[in-house]
Structure 1
Amino acid sequence: MKRVLTVLLLCAFAAGAAAWRLADVKPDPNVQAIADGCQRDTTKIYTGFAPNWVYVNDRDFSSSGPPPGTRTVTGVVRGASGLLASRVASSDDPITHRSVDVNIDVTVDGASEFLTGTSRDATPEQGTLHLERESDDYPDWARPQAGDRIQALGSWIWDCDHYQGKGEKTEFHPFRAAWVTRRASPRATPLASEGDLFVSTDATPAGEEAECAHQTKGSDQFKACAHAHPDWLSVNGDYAFELPAASAPCTRPALGSIDRGSVGGVRVASHWAGNAWHIAFSIAAPEGRRVVVARQYFARCANAPAVDHLRLHFDRLLVRRAMDPSCAPDKPTCPFAGESTLLGQIAAAPGEWQLHWSVDGIWGRWPGTLPAKDGSSFRGRQSVEFSLPRGGTWTLVVLARECDFGALPSFAGTGHPMRPCPVSSEVGNSKGDDYPGAIGVTFRGPALGRHVSNASTAGSTCPPSNVHGCYQLTYTVSRVR
């Protein structure tokens, strides 16, 4: 299918002459991150006295005026992490989050390359930009998988918490709008292309911190400002996207849509443009008014190729290494030293496991929090139906998290750990939660039958003695009749 370039048109926010001068310059963190507001002080970030995120180029914007405007990026969801280019974060700082982040690595189109900054140059991340938004504020249905095209509008910021090595990296955090296109929808039978649209004024803690970093410019008023700032960022502007047809040429084109919880009454128009659907709308909300545009689009053609309608059932999760209990900081050689490579935790058994998965781009999670011990087995009860073009490939991605900071307050305050983790008496290692590892598998064709996959230990905190990984997943693929 001939690729149709999608177009994102967004009104620019007001910007000063300095912003215009720097518009297309790749920023160097070792030249300007501190001037923009980063303090390179992890202790102050963890205690709320320094920002985790500041706007790129904020040094050129007075605190008495607006901060730097939003930016747009286009590209493909792809990065050094392979199938994990779209994922739920394995660990986040609970003090600066209400919920764990969704992370998206984007290999940017040429016009967006300057957004990647210099700290990724000559690394496996060169040419990529990191997009983040808290999982409570970015629904499962809207999340992409590796290989999807994405266009996003967001706050272009420095991640001040990660300045080691070549310096802070740039991100969109939060991204405020995203348009994801899939050539073949896993949700549609018969075959359809899919466009997932999500726009939200919800600022999330990252947005609130960047706004307050701009307003307080390093003063001791930052912490009070961050926790009092409205949970609102403007998304005003004119938007236009294109959703390519499911086949070319396309006979009897049709467009279906599902509203997934929009707020604010934004009217979206669509029309057939010969080889793609053109979708457009405008937002002009007064300050403080919550707006959410949440819609899925499915473009169908009468002559689209056939698909297989499949079902994946999660049969069993086997936990080989629960990662709790752990050795206390003053007892590094206790009998539980082999549970995790992150020593010095205050954590008792059982482990608090959470499993997130994507079945060819349909995201979800194992229900609840699993009380895992070494050797625990959990029976699966959930199934996912998906569609696959005949002869096509599909992927299964699974990522496990083990909650280690249930005793610490999140950005939401005392008694509210970072969601979806439960309240507990645990305090983990300063490097973050335990990460039991991930599974990433690609299948060609339906791949009917039972499968057994072991988690990889790459990048995890699973001790290397577990040569087959810290967990195993059994699942069955069948046809839907």
Structure 2
Amino acid sequence: MQMLRSRTLAFALGLVAGAIPTGAKATFIDSNLAASATAHLNGGGCYPTPLVPGLLDMLTLIDPEWAAVDVDSHLPPLSDPVTIHGTVALAKVNEAGDFPGDHVTDDENTFITVDAADMGLVGTGNVHPMEGVEAGTLEVEWEIGKYPLFAWPGTGDRLTGVGRWIWDCGHPNPNPAGSCSTTISQPCAIDSDCASPTCETCVGGETCVGVTWNYHSEMHPPQALAVTRTGGYSYSKLNRRAGRLSTRTDVWISPDGGGAGDQCFLTHRPNPVALLRLECFPLSQPLANVNASDFAFDITLPPKPAGQTRPPRVQVFDQTPAGLPKPAVTTTWIPGVVDTIHAVVNMTTPVDGTLPSMVGKTIIARWINDPTPITPLRVRVTGIEILNPLKAVTPALPARQRCSVTTSQDCSVTPCPVGETCLTLGGPTPGWQVWFEVNGHWQQLPGLSRVQTPGTIPQNLIYTVGIPAGGTLHLHASGKSLACLEAQLYGQSIARDLTLYGLTDGATCLTDASKDIGRFDISLSGPDFGSGGSSMAYVTPSVGGDGGTCSITTTQLCVTDADCPGGPSDTCVVTGGSYKLHYTISKP
């Protein structure tokens, strides 16, 4: 969910909460179906808002935030999972953060270019021209805390996913808007736009006609993903040093989809005001059933070497969390114009009497004695230099301390009752989060939780890869500077936020979204892939993003004009580029 909706919802909460007691076809699917009368049967579908939102309309957008595209014979929110295939166009975190009232953590967002055979899973809203760089893709979202890094994808990887096919109800995007049935000069989104007070000249009984909704279809959340990369891989789940030309497929299966996979959040309430009292945490109603069927997918092998008659070599490594059942994986070679491996993770058979639940696998497949040249490379991240920490001079909220249950009690003055903890609400929000990938191998930069001033934090992240001839070394980072929303609100309900923060402070924290630290995305080609033939050191700044310096007080870093001390004419000149990454590329 984009944080524009959180800001508007915060405004609505601040105004109203005081009254509240404590099988795919080959063409795109019509996004207008998301808000159709058929979709609304039994509480399904999305519920759009007027062009001029009222007090409760932003609550309507999350009632529910995600609706099944096709419930088939089920009652909403239940639906059968779908399978999707495609190529990764972009993988990243949500820089501004997600709506915290129905998330345990932020989402990892993967945008895929869907295969032609699965294009019927893509909504017409996904391909609308106003969607910019994301136009034409389908997004796969899974909460970061539920999705281990080894299985995160990178640009160009192949992805097979099984999961919940939904409309993103939080983004109706009426474009073009409709018109009122009689007063045709009056634009509208829903019927209430054609009545007073929005339209004083409209006559009674007018309806809104001709609106085009651009809801996005997504897989959100998945319950099983297989991500295939091509490069030089050794036969180890942990050591990624260059070996023979191979495909490496990382698999993650889990019923835990976070808030977007929990029935409590996905059930429509006839009155959205009920969301202000709803308590779904801790989550306890996951919808996904990973044991209903086995997880099957195909792995495309590298081109077969001339004269090769032997079958490919396939090795499976287990990545399942300790103590959980480790199901078997069967692999079958399918010869053809393009040779493939058909893999099946057995999720329907108990292991020592217990069905599998969370499962991780790594599958490496290659041709024996493949002579294709591979260039081994090592990328080492040695430091991150924070140029602008992107922290407001004055925090969004002043710091105050309150007891965890007796929330009216100031525990900086009086100790909390026995069994309660003293919480710090508001105040400065130190910390960055940065994830860095090399050809789909992701790691999170450690030691950034206290970032609030410029400085360099040493790092020692090592990536070993093998690049085939004609391949590319891809370096990519995704991250953010934390603000009140992500630092303090995730994993707790709107009701809890109102109890802790009250109306005004709760709305202020909700609108204080994390800041964009800028883009870092570099591709290097052969023959040396940036190594200079041996080893090269780099210091590369991020590009774009938030922050800059004040126009008059030019030594003052800023995020907004409010950070500049020189009066109304002293404004924040946004330059972006808030950090530099220090790294080396070498040939071992």
For the superposition of Structure 1 and Structure 2, which TM-score range results when normalised by the shorter chain?
Answer: 0.7 to 0.9
1:283-432 alignment, distance < 5 Å: 283-284=347-348, 291-301=357-367, 302-327=369-394, 351-405=430-484, 408-411=488-491, 428=509, 430=511, 432=513
The whole-number CA distance in structure 1 between the counterparts of 2:85 and 2:537 is: 38
Partner of 2:245: 191
**How far does residue 452 in structure 1 lie from its aligned partner after superposition?**
2.0
Q: 2:315 aligns with which of 256, 262, 281?
A: 256
CA deviations on 1:346-382 (whole Å, 9 max, x unpaired) are 9755741111110111101111334334532222222
**How far does residue 168 in structure 1 lie from its aligned partner after superposition?**
2.8
Letter of the structure 2 residue corresponding to residue 410 of structure 1 = Y
The whole-number CA distance in structure 1 between the counterparts of 2:300 and 2:462 is: 29
Check conservation: 2:34, 2:167, Cα contact below 8 A: no
Distance 1:468 1:225, change over 3 A: closer
- TM-score by length of structure 2 reads 0.64
Partner of 2:46: 38
| SS of equivalent to 1:136 | helix
Letter of the structure 2 residue corresponding to residue 94 of structure 1 = P
Letter of the structure 1 residue corresponding to residue 370 of structure 2 = N
Partner of 1:200: 254
1:71-110 alignment, distance < 5 Å: 71-78=82-89, 85-90=90-95, 91-110=97-116
Q: 1:280 aligns with which of 328, 344, 356?
A: 344
Distance 1:457 1:127, change over 3 A: same
The whole-number CA distance in structure 2 between the counterparts of 1:272 and 1:428 is: 54
| SS of equivalent to 2:474 | strand
Partner of 1:7: none
**How far does residue 267 in structure 1 lie from its aligned partner after superposition?**
2.1
Partner of 2:407: none
The whole-number CA distance in structure 1 between the counterparts of 2:447 and 2:289 is: 34
Partner of 1:69: 80
Distance 1:44 1:94, change over 3 A: farther
**How far does residue 276 in structure 1 lie from its aligned partner after superposition?**
2.7
1:146-225 alignment, distance < 5 Å: 146-166=155-175, 167-185=214-232, 187=240, 188-209=242-263, 212-213=266-267, 223-224=278-279
Check conservation: 2:110, 2:140, Cα contact below 8 A: yes
Distance 1:110 1:247, change over 3 A: closer
CA deviations on 1:290-310 (whole Å, 9 max, x unpaired) are 612311111122124132222
Partner of 1:268: 329
The whole-number CA distance in structure 1 between the counterparts of 2:355 and 2:511 is: 38
**How far does residue 162 in structure 1 lie from its aligned partner after superposition?**
2.5
**How far does residue 86 in structure 1 lie from its aligned partner after superposition?**
0.6
Q: Which has the larger radius of gyration?
A: 2
Partner of 2:583: 475
Check conservation: 2:547, 2:578, Cα contact below 8 A: no
Distance 1:209 1:251, change over 3 A: same
Check conservation: 1:201, 1:233, Cα contact below 8 A: yes
Distance 1:208 1:220, change over 3 A: farther
Distance 1:218 1:293, change over 3 A: farther
| SS of equivalent to 1:119 | helix
Check conservation: 2:35, 2:47, Cα contact below 8 A: no
The whole-number CA distance in structure 1 between the counterparts of 2:453 and 2:283 is: 43
Q: 2:515 aligns with which of 430, 434, 445?
A: 434
The whole-number CA distance in structure 1 between the counterparts of 2:58 and 2:356 is: 28
The whole-number CA distance in structure 1 between the counterparts of 2:365 and 2:395 is: 56
Letter of the structure 1 residue corresponding to residue 137 of structure 2 = T
Partner of 1:3: none
**How far does residue 397 in structure 1 lie from its aligned partner after superposition?**
0.4
- TM-score by length of structure 1 reads 0.77
The whole-number CA distance in structure 1 between the counterparts of 2:174 and 2:59 is: 20
| SS of equivalent to 1:261 | coil
1:222-237 alignment, distance < 5 Å: 223-224=278-279, 229-231=284-286, 233-235=288-290, 236-237=292-293
Check conservation: 2:262, 2:284, Cα contact below 8 A: yes
Letter of the structure 1 residue corresponding to residue 302 of structure 2 = A
Distance 1:360 1:323, change over 3 A: same
Partner of 1:27: 31
Letter of the structure 2 residue corresponding to residue 317 of structure 1 = I
Equivalent residue pairs, number: 429
Distance 1:138 1:40, change over 3 A: same
Unpaired runs of 5+ residues, structure 1, are 1-18, 79-84, 332-345, 418-424
**How far does residue 126 in structure 1 lie from its aligned partner after superposition?**
3.7
Distance 1:228 1:452, change over 3 A: closer
